[in-house]
Amino acid sequence: MCGIVGYIGKKPIVPLLLNGLQTLEYRGYDSAGIAWLGPENDLCMFKKEGKLSNLRSHVDALHFHNDDAVEYRGIAHTRWATHGSPTDENAHPHTSADGNIVLIHNGIIENYTELRDELKAKGYSFKSSTDTETIVLLLEDILKTETNFLKALQRLTSRLVGAYALGIMDKRQMGKLYGVRNFAPLVLGVGDGEMFLASDSVAIVEHTNEVVFLKDGQIVELTATGYHIEDFAGKQVITDSETIAASQMILDKKGFRHFMLKEIYDQPDVIRRLLSEHLKGDTDPVSILDKPALALFKNPKRIVIVGCGSSLNAGLVGKYFMEAVARIDVNVESAGEYRYRDTLVDEDTIIIAISQSGETADTLTAIRQCKEKGAKVVTVTNRVDSTMARESDAVVNVHAGLEVSVCATKSFVAQVVVLYLLGLQVAEDRGTLKANELENLKHQLKQLPTQIETMLANTDTVHTVAKKYGSKENMLFIGRSMNYPTAMEGALKLKEVSYIHAEGYSASELKHGPIAMLDQDMPIVAVLTPGPLYEKMISSCQEAKARDAQVIAIHAGPVQQEAADTFDDIITVPTTHEWLSPVVAVVPMQFLAYYIAEHLGKDVDQPRNLAKSVTVE
């Protein structure tokens, strides 16, 4: 969630660190800070609440310039508040009482209260409300009796409980920079006479694509010419660097006003990319899984899909589809709840873990627990360099490209399409669909990019609806079958980006409580697509209309006249197979959320309180 950038070398350090932070803005934050040590070992440190631009303006006013012949080292941070409100004092970096140690931190220290009390009893005072300041003061205390800095860090980690990634400088450790990883991502970049540290490789790929992904329980000591890694027990770890694809990590709005809008428009190309790689023709076999991964699905006792947020909604679509085509019982679980349950998992269980970032803390912990019980894990992610990908038995890349807007759009659609392909391949392998049924689904799947493009070419109706309902304080989204999770995704998008209270329900649940809220101030967005439950959806909309609710229909194809009278507004989407309809139905809801948020003047790409990569509970 927070962003870490560190550097040691001779490049202009201030713009390098600030630009690195800028590439991490999409992850979410509420304050930022920077610190560096120059040739005289003098510390420069600045922290500002709010946007990175506040910090940048303040630092730029100093007109600081490197001496090109001198080595500098520095760390920078964007904070997403967990302990203490977003203020200058709570922003990172934090320093030790003696001023020698400077530290930045992602994650949460669960035992910080008792450590804080212990340190106060020893005479230490605190300037902030953060758990992070506890770390730096504890390290200062340890260094009073431990002269070896790596051993001091190992003693530090033995006292900390929680998930964390640390970037550390010490004035006394000349020419050195340190990183610590424990259940929070951290990567180091290898350059020519320079080294980098970051919470995400996107922050350093401008300078190097040679990286080392640290593993949990590791400490790295960086100099300008190399790195040394040890585990928390003090054993040296030999890890070779690897090359990442820099072209997939370029932040570019391509002329769009916001990244969210650009990423909505990316969706046809994302789907085409997936289909071109895994589905050549209507009669060709699907190839989303390799043979060892496909073999896992031959006869599993159970399949469990785990995810959070939009990934959870995509998983629900996948459940409906896989059960329909592959005839396998699939459960879908919120990863945050699943990790704390006494789950029925064994070696005959397949876990399908879905995460855009591949670093979602709840999902990562859930798959680790399941692997301990013998389950096989297939991860569906947009980042094949992530921790989840590295710890899974099989990985499926959704190929959505870097998604910068905090609100998921193209990654959600890509996840759904991947689950379609996975379901079709398993159905082919198990022989649960007739050849003509498979061919029809494949053919209609390949039409989705063009169908979305027809909607992208004409958004006037959605724009008009957004203006009409943008001042409402509440909104209800309903759907049935495959489009129950689509309705939940539409509601999630609206509340994420516009802050309007929205809920997604199965229309079958309307009479079991939510109908009590309906009146002229509670619009309903109803997803209506061809299928056995279409008439049931019409009935639900008529019941809502009878309670004075305004009904907005996301409707596939032409509307019959008797049904049209039920709707106040109709947004038409292309007609496709009912099982594939979530992909076309979600697009106008993405636009609806975007246009309402823009109309209300909200920060579309970086909504308040949210983070792109949720690496803490």
Q: Where are the domains of the chain?
A: 3-249, 259-453, 460-599
User: Tens digit of pLDDT for each residue in 332-354?
Assistant: 999 989 888 888 889 999 999 99
pLDDT for 613 equals 63
Interatomic CA distance for residues 384 and 133, integer angstroms: 33
Check: CB of residue 405 under 8 Å from CB of residue 605: yes
Could you name the CATH architecture of 460-599?
Answer: 3-Layer(aba) Sandwich (3.40)
DSSP alpha helices (H): ranges in 143-219? Answer: 149-159
Residue 130: half-sphere exposure toward Cβ, Cα within 13 Å = 27
**Both structure tokens of 235:** 């054993």
Crossing angle of helices 435-456 and 581-599, in 10° steps, is: 20
Check: CB of residue 527 under 8 Å from CB of residue 484: no
CA 278 to chain centroid: 24
Instruction: Tell me whether residue 407 is exposed, middle or buried, using C-beta atoms within 10 angstroms of its C-beta: 0 to 12, 13 to 18, 19 or more.
Output: buried
pLDDT for 69 equals 79
Task: Kindly name the residue from 47, 319, 376, 612 that is annotated as catalytic.
Answer: 612
Check: CB of residue 157 under 8 Å from CB of residue 182: yes
pLDDT for 248 equals 55
Interatomic CA distance for residues 394 and 388, integer angstroms: 10
Interatomic CA distance for residues 16 and 558, integer angstroms: 55
pLDDT for 608 equals 83
Q: How does DSSP classify residue 215?
A: P
**Which amino acid is residue 315, in one-letter code?**
G
**Contacts of 561 by beta carbon, 8 Å cutoff, 6+ apart:** none
Q: Is 11 annotated in the active site?
A: no
User: Tens digit of pLDDT for each residue in 546-582?
Assistant: 999 999 999 998 888 777 889 999 999 999 999 999 9
Instruction: State whether residue 229 is helix, strand or coil.
Output: strand
Check: CB of residue 405 under 8 Å from CB of residue 260: yes
CB neighbours (10 Å) of residue 172?
A: 12
pLDDT for 2 equals 81
pLDDT for 246 equals 64
Q: How does DSSP classify residue 177?
A: E
Q: Collect contacts of 596-600 with beta carbons under 8 A, ≥24 apart.
A: 596/466, 596/469, 596/470, 596/494, 596/497, 596/498, 596/500, 597/497, 597/498, 598/257, 598/258, 599/466, 599/467, 599/470, 600/470, 600/498, 600/499
Task: Kindly name the residue from 2, 308, 407, 541 that is annotated as catalytic.
Answer: 2
Does the pTM of the predicted model rise above 0.85? Answer: no
- Low-confidence stretches of the chain (pLDDT < 50) are none
pLDDT for 338 equals 84
Interatomic CA distance for residues 332 and 379, integer angstroms: 14
Q: What CATH code is assigned to 3-249?
A: 3.60.20.10
- Looking up tokens 């279409």 gives 534
**Both structure tokens of 318:** 């996948």
> What are the E-state strand segments in 485-581?
501-506, 524-528, 551-556, 569-573
pLDDT for 281 equals 86
Check: CB of residue 585 under 8 Å from CB of residue 384: no
- Fold observed for domain 259-453: Rossmann fold (3.40.50)
Fold match between 3-249 and 460-599? no
Check: CB of residue 419 under 8 Å from CB of residue 317: yes
Q: Is 2 annotated in the active site?
A: yes
